[in-house]
Amino acid sequence: MDAWVRFSAQSQARERLCRAAQYACSLLGHALQRHGARPELQKQIRQLEGHLSLGRKLLRLGNSADALESAKRAVHLSDVVLRFCITVSHLNRALYFACDNVLWAGKSGLAPRVDQEKWAQRSFRYYLFSLIMNLSRDAYEIRLLMEQESSACSRRLKGSGGGVPGGIETGGLGGPGTPGGGLPQLALKLRLQVLLLARVLRGHPPLLLDVVRNACDLFIPLDKLGLWRCGPGIVGLCGLVSSILSILTLIYPWLRLKP
């Protein structure tokens, strides 16, 4: 199992490059269609996109083992919320890759009787559940960091002898019954929370990158499952952006969110 996981890790860069090229073709094909390009050129782009998709499925053969190993490691995390989100995410990824392997067998002709539409829907459902868990984990980590940052700001302000001016500390804001309360007070509180969120994300690039990547990826299964029709242009753009961000985590490992 360990040997296969190491071999699988070596193919990640090639798979992500193919993914970026595939979604670039999707975006290019949409742009050509909108501008009335020649049908032959549009057909060639669609064929290239299909070949890249099939090549990615070949590179992902056996990735279920890698996802299961990641799930086994996540079970031992001390934080209950992180343990649940990360473990469930990896288990859904393992099921997604298993469905993807069946799809590859069908499209390559090894299993011609495979119902490709049914297995594609299954794979995208597991992919969607995995992304929901990833975003839930991101939201949890953001909440923890915002609480830590708020407490740190309060201690610094009190230590310097100054008050908390309506403060980063959410408890520093008065209720609606206080002078100047009501809607302006709520707007001030919301503005401070947004500033605190921006400060936290700016100070933690791996978390920011993970949020953007998962948010971009979310549009893909939503569109494929018919839950929210985005169109090939949006899907291509989001897939290309998330692929570039994934490649960055391979080039610069410190950008990968841990655990």
- Same-domain status, 70 and 126: yes
| Domain shared by 55 and 87, yes or no | no
Question: Is 72 contained in some domain?
Answer: yes
Task: Encode pLDDT of 190-213 as tens digits.
Answer: 998 999 999 999 999 999 999 999
SS3 153: helix
Residues 36 and 74 in one domain: no
pLDDT for 150: 87
Higher pLDDT, 161 or 187: 187
Q: How many domains does the chain have?
A: 2
Query: Is 86's pLDDT higher than 50?
Result: yes
| Least confident range of 89-93, 131-135, 178-182, 208-212 | 178-182
What is the reported pTM?
0.86
Is the same domain home to 133 and 76?
A: yes
- In terms of domains, do 81 and 145 share one? yes
Question: For residue 221, is it within any domain?
Answer: no
Average pLDDT, the chain: 87
Residue 106 and residue 32 share a domain: no
Q: Is 123 a member of any domain?
A: yes
Indicate the pLDDT class of residue 6, thresholds 50, 70 and 90.
Answer: low
C-beta of residue 208 within 8 angstroms of C-beta of residue 138: no
Provide the pLDDT for residue 9: 59
Share of the chain above pLDDT 90, in %: 66
* Same structural domain, 23 and 80: no
Residues 17 and 69 in one domain: no
In this predicted structure, which of 1-5, 21-25, 56-60, 229-233 has the lowest mean pLDDT? 1-5
Determine, yes or no, domain membership for 192.
no
Contact 56, 48 (CB under 8 A): no
Q: In the prediction, which pLDDT does 182 show? A: 75
d(CA 124, CA 130): 10
Q: Which 3 state secondary structure label does DSSP give 60?
A: coil
State whether 73 and 55 are in the same domain: no
Six token digits for residue 253: 């490992």
Q: Are residues 67 and 112 in the same domain?
A: yes
- Give 22's pLDDT tier (boundaries 50, 70, 90): very high
Residues 45 and 29 reside in one and the same domain? yes
Is residue 170 in a domain? no
Domain-located, residue 13: yes
* In a shared domain, residues 28 and 46: yes
Please say whether the dihedral angle defined by the alpha carbons of residues 95, 98, 104 and 105, taken in this order, is positive or negative: negative
Residues 6 or more apart whose CB falls under 8 angstroms from that of 213 comprise 241, 242, 245, 246
Residue 19 belongs to a domain? yes
Cα separation of 4 and 205, whole Å?
31
The model's confidence at residue 184, banded by pLDDT at 50, 70 and 90, is confident
Instruction: Label residue 162 by pLDDT band (50, 70, 90).
Output: low
What pLDDT score does 164 carry? 47
Tell me the average pLDDT across 242-256. Answer: 92
Angle at 58 between CA 211 and CA 28, to 5 degrees: 60
Q: What's the gap between Cα 204 and its chain centre?
A: 16
In the predicted model, what is the mean pLDDT of residues 145-158?
Answer: 85
Residues 90, 98: Cα–Cα separation, whole Å? 12
HSE value, Cβ hemisphere, 13 Å, CA-based, for 126: 19
Question: Which residue blocks in 60-176 are alpha helix, DSSP H?
Answer: 63-74, 80-107, 116-159
Within-domain flag for 6: yes
CA dihedral sign, ordered 157, 163, 167, 172: positive
Give residue 22's domain range.
1-59+231-258
